[in-house]
Every structure is written in structure tokens, then in C-alpha cells.
């Protein structure tokens, strides 16, 4: 049994562009999706922070348990001038660095723009000034900055692709702990009964190449986003290499 501590941002005063809202609220929405997907797997016990806690309380709570992975999930800000994801470990050449590389590798394939790499939280703010959530947690810790919430395009991308980002994060957790992915096969989509591509959609779904949008809807006539297309290619690649 692997113990995962999900730690979405507690920064309620960080407000994103347009309809993004607060970083705390949006990252909790994302973590809700991550937790929902992870709950399908009996190999994981999931712990989670309280959005009302201070960072010191989050760290104390995580350290109370024998955690295998402490995963902080945030969105970034730089006066609207930057885009892309970046992933932090405490120090390079550690197990948490290995974990961070997995998260970055997978997210880099999903994001719509050039990304910013894997970085150290150690001495990040200056000499002996470390990212506390990475430095003070006893578990192997990783902090993901999904994208920049104060950038118009990044904020829109996060809002529109929350499900895909969550699935991507879970895929990385499964890869790290070598747990086989559960494919949601034989989903009955209610809005494709008379659609010309019904059989192809059902076949792609049974292979785990595509998913719907919740409530058994596929939205067959909607435009494919870049993130959705990338996810399909990644799923196809994984299907082929597993054969």
C-alpha cells in the first residue's frame, strides 16, 4: 500500500486571469479530480491537506504519516508574462528528483507551450532559504506548477483541461509506483447513438484511447483541443508499447 499526500495550494489571495478565480480554489478542483481517479486503485491510501491550514500545518500533517509521496499542486504567476509548467524537487540526484522528472516528462507532453524544466527547491530563495514544503517534509516531495494562472492563455488552458491534467498527474503516480493503469472500458455514451462514428468511438473508448466528458457524454461534434489530441497520442503510444 502506497501513501500519497495531496497538497493543493492554500494561497487563496493569488487570483488568476478572468474566470480562473483563486489559485487555492482552482487547485483544489484539480486535486478533487486526482483524488477521484486515484480512489479507483486499492494500492493507494490518500491523505490531503485542509485549504484553511497554514503551510506549517500542512507539513506537520504530512509528517505525521509514513508518506511515500508528498505532492504539492500549484499554479504559477509572473505578471502575465510567462507560460508553461515547471516541477520542483528538494535536491537534484535524489529519489524526489527522479519522481519530479516523471511528472515533468508527462506534463510536458500535454501542455500547449514550451515548458520550464525540473528545478531545485533547495536554496531557491537564496542561501539557506529553501522551499519549505519540499525541504521540511519527511517524504519524497514534489511540487508541480501546472501553468501560469495570471497568463490569459495558460489560465484558459487549465480551466478547459482540468480532467486531462488530473489524469496526467495520476498517470505519473502510477508510473512511479509501477501500478498498472485501469482503463475505463465499455462506457456507454448517451449522445452518440445516431452518430456516424458510433462504432469507432466505442472501439477507441474500449481501448482506453478516448474518454467522455462526464455523465456518459462524448460530445462527438465538438472540436478536438490540442491537449485532448496529445492525450490520445500518448494513450495510443502506451497501448502499442504494452503489446
Residue ranges, CATH 3.40.630.40, the chain: 2-176
**CA 98 – CA 221 distance, rounded (Å):** 40
Residue 193 has a pLDDT of 75
The class level of CATH for 2-176 reads alpha beta
pLDDT at site 219? 78
pLDDT for position 183: 63
Query: DSSP letter string over the chain?
Result: -EEEEEEE---TT-B-SGGG-BHHHHHHHHHHHHHHHHTT-TTEEEEE--TTS-HHHHHHHHHHS--SEEEEEEEE-STT---S-EEEESSSSSHHHHHHHHHHHHHHHHSSS----EEE-TTTTSTT---HHHHS-SS-EEEEEEEETTSHHHHHHHHHTHHHHHHHHHHHHHHHTT-PPPP--S---TT-TT-TTHHHHHHHHHTTS----STT---TTSPPPHHHHHHHHHHHHHHHHT-
Distance in angstroms (rounded) separating the CA atoms of residues 60 and 52: 14
pLDDT profile of the chain (243 residues), mean per 10: 97 96 97 94 96 97 97 97 97 97 95 95 94 97 98 96 94 95 66 78 76 70 78 78 65
In terms of pTM, does the model score above 0.85? no
* Confidence at residue 69, expressed as pLDDT on a 0 to 100 scale: 98
What's the grid cell of residue 59?
A: 507539513
As a residue count, the chain comes to: 243
Amino acid at each position: 500500500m502506497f501513501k500519497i499526500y495531496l497538497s493543493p495550494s492554500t494561497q487563496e489571495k493569488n487570483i488568476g486571469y478572468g474566470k480562473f478565480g483563486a489559485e487555492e480554489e482552482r487547485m483544489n478542483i484539480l486535486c478533487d479530480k486526482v483524488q477521484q481517479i486515484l480512489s479507483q486503485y486499492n494500492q493507494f491510501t490518500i491523505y490531503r491537506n485542509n485549504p484553511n491550514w497554514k503551510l506549517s500545518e500542512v507539513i506537520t500533517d504530512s509528517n505525521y504519516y509514513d508518506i511515500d509521496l508528498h505532492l504539492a499542486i500549484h499554479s504559477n504567476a509572473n505578471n502575465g508574462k510567462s507560460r508553461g509548467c515547471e516541477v520542483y524537487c528538494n535536491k537534484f540526484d535524489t529519489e524526489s528528483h527522479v519522481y519530479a522528472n516523471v511528472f515533468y516528462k508527462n506534463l510536458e507532453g500535454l501542455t500547449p507551450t514550451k515548458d520550464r524544466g525540473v528545478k531545485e527547491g533547495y536554496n531557491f530563495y537564496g542561501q539557506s532559504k529553501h522551499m519549505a514544503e519540499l525541504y521540511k517534509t519527511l517524504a519524497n516531495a514534489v511540487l508541480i506548477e501546472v501553468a501560469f494562472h495570471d497568463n490569459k492563455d495558460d489560465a484558459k488552458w487549465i480551466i478547459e483541461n482540468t480532467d486531462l491534467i488530473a489524469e496526467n498527474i495520476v498517470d505519473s503516480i502510477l508510473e512511479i509506483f509501477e501500478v498498472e493503469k485501469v482503463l475505463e472500458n465499455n462506457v456507454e455514451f448517451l449522445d452518440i447513438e445516431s452518430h456516424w462514428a458510433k462504432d469507432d468511438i466505442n472501439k477507441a473508448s474500449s481501448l482506453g484511447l478516448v474518454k467522455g466528458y462526464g455523465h456518459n457524454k462524448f460530445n462527438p461534434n465538438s472540436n478536438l483541443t490540442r491537449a485532448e489530441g496529445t492525450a490520445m497520442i500518448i494513450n495510443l503510444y502506451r497501448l502499442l508499447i504494452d503489446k
